[in-house]
């Protein structure tokens, strides 16, 4: 597989605008929960052309795609974490997306746009559910 060049801070700031704080906030929350992160950039069919995988010990926790003034977050939850999510205090809209997502072998995946720091608690809860020990 071809190695994709990491986005520079300047490139991210140029596309994200005010959502740059959201991007850095998401990364900080995930690091606080699980420890050091690796980032891997992959090609994406978006205006920016790339997405960032936030990984811990080679496990992808979140997919982040920089957009104009927002960040698209994607997450896949296995069936155990999905069950925990449906019983949690996550917003109804997030639960609805998961319940409507087609189950695959790797789990159920959703994507949603984040453009405000107020969405950080949802992301924190999702990562906590994904990383809950069995």
pLDDT exceeds cutoff 80 at 120 = yes
Q: Yes or no: say if 85 and 26 are a contact pair by the CB < 8 Å rule.
A: no
CATH number, span 9-130 = 3.90.1150
Q: What is the pTM of this model?
A: 0.93
Q: Where are the domains of the chain?
A: 9-130
pLDDT in tens, 56-81: 999 999 999 999 999 999 999 999 99
Residues in contact with 80: Cβ distance below 8 Å, sequence separation at least 6, in sequence order: 132, 134
């Amino acid at each position: 597989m071809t190695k994709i060049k990491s986005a520079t801070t300047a490139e991210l700031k140029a596309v994200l605008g005010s959502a740059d704080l959201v991007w850095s906030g998401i990364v900080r929350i995930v690091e606080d929960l699980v420890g050091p992160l690796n980032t891997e950039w992959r090609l994406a069919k978006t205006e920016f052309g790339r997405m960032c995988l936030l990984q811990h010990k080679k496990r992808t926790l979140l997919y982040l795609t920089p957009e104009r003034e927002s960040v698209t977050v994607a997450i896949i939850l296995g069936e155990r974490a999905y069950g925990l999510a449906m019983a949690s205090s996550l917003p109804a809209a997030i639960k609805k997306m998961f319940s409507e997502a087609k189950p695959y072998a790797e789990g159920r995946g959703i994507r949603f746009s984040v453009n405000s720091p107020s969405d950080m608690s949802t992301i924190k809860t999702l990562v906590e559910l994904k990383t809950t020990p069995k």
